[in-house]
Amino acid sequence: MADYSISEQTGLFLTLFKNRSTNMYNSANVLEGRIKKSNDFVGKQMNIETQLSFAGGYGAKLLPQGNPSLVEQAVITAKKHYSRVFVDREGLKAASSSKGSFQTYLGFPIKKTVEDFMRNMSRVLFGDGSAVLGRGEGIANVTGNGSSGTPYVITFRASDWNVANFEEKSVVQVVSGLAAGDNTGGSAEGGDSVANLLTIALVNPSARQISVIGTSAVLAALTGVNPFPTTSGLVAQRSYLSEAQGLSGALMATSGTLYGLNVQRRWQATQVDALGSGVVVDMLNDVMLKVDQSFGDSPNIIICNYNQYRKILAQLEDQKRYPLPNKNAKGHLGFSGIEYAGAGNSGVITIHYDRFCPEDKIFFLNDKHIHRYARPGGAEWFQDDKTVFLRTVDEDVLEARYGCYMENFITPSAHGVLHNLAK
């Protein structure tokens, strides 16, 4: 005998589906909303006047000799940044209303594409222009064969690991031969072809491991016998050394050139090495005062990763204040942070966390001197055919493209960075 129950009469009962629009990931970026943006970048390049010294000559008793000031021109060129989505045309019809799908295809892919683009812009802003997401640990052997059932598993080193750089479904590429001191000098497997592009299947933060699906002769040769070396890494697909300049590149430069100008005393960020120690308030004061001393103006925002933010909270336990966001302020983004009223002439400024900030660094920024110059239109949908969705050749698939052509111009001497902190 059986009961008249759900388990026995499964064909009789309906299944209730409930849509939920809450994202299961963090998409916030306070700095993106504060930097200056201009959409008037035309011509081959932009030359920006940069004054690097005083002018004249001083003396007493007799008329002094004089020299002109040192004025150079920083040069920027636009970098291409995109986000792209493909939509099956039948799926577009099937999801044309809420009766057929939780989300309508006319709105959902567009929203997610812009969201993906903005996430990448946040990563680029804190990067070094190389598009390298992480580098190998050089200890644990690569495993797997690149299939969906047994993906390649790569272990990354702890020194520059940032889990925010990796997302499931992102498409990446192996880069080899990276220099020891920075991410230059490498070669992306497959170059600009799509043959060796890999899809991230799983992110394991605690083990610092990424599982990828796809074809890679480099990973196949390492599987089971050798680790992913520290001179190799994963890079955003077909983007190696092609991204806009970011904070890690501009503020950590100690030699060479930056925007075409030699890195020098007046064209270099204030860099304070923590020597592996934990953050203390005196370090914050030190960087703030040094920036003010060299540049004549103080940072107006401090940004760090979650781990350093937690330590700063503990350091300022007896004096921190939590600013309440002004809900009536035009353009309010809903961000708040702790207030820092220490050294410098900017008065009380806020300390914010950002998931893309490197874990061993704290940036002391003057957002008046971070400017994104973009081609006319800025970040926008490519609607040259008067529609967002474009038809693809020989496939019953539509695609949409969102992007911009731009460069981040970061005046290095206006900012400071406290680096090599204990994580």
Task: Tell me the domain boundaries of the chain.
Answer: 32-39+72-129+243-423, 140-242
**How confident is the model at residue 28, as a pLDDT?**
66
**How confident is the model at residue 328, as a pLDDT?**
45
pLDDT in tens, the chain (423 residues): 455 544 554 555 554 444 544 555 555 678 998 999 999 999 999 999 999 999 888 999 999 999 999 999 999 999 999 999 888 888 777 776 666 554 555 677 788 888 999 999 999 999 999 999 999 999 999 999 999 999 999 999 999 999 999 999 999 999 999 999 899 999 999 999 999 999 999 999 999 999 999 999 999 999 999 999 999 999 999 999 999 999 999 999 999 999 999 999 999 999 999 999 999 989 999 999 999 999 999 999 999 999 999 998 887 765 555 555 554 443 333 345 678 876 767 778 889 999 999 999 999 999 999 999 999 999 999 988 788 888 888 889 888 899 999 999 999 999 999 999 999
Contact 416, 378 (CB under 8 A): no
Three-class SS of 193-239: CCCCCEEEEEEECCCCEEEEEECCHHHHHHCCCCECCCCCEEEECCC
If you compute the radius of gyration of the chain from its CA atoms, what whole number of angstroms results?
25
CA dihedral 160, 164, 168, 170 (to 10 degrees): -80
**How confident is the model at residue 238, as a pLDDT?**
98
Q: Which residues pair with 401 in a beta bridge?
A: 84
Q: Is 20 exposed, middle or buried (0-12, 13-18, 19+ CB in 10 A)?
A: exposed
Spatial neighbors of 182 by CB under 8 A, at least 6 apart, are 128, 130
The CATH architecture assigned to 32-39+72-129+243-423 reads Alpha-Beta Complex (3.90)
Query: Rounded CA gap, 95 and 202, in Å?
Result: 28
Residue 58 burial (CB count, 10 A):
8
**How confident is the model at residue 3, as a pLDDT?**
54
Query: Rounded CA gap, 227 and 136, in Å?
Result: 8
**Phi, psi dihedrals of residue 353, rounded to the nearest 5°:** -110, 150
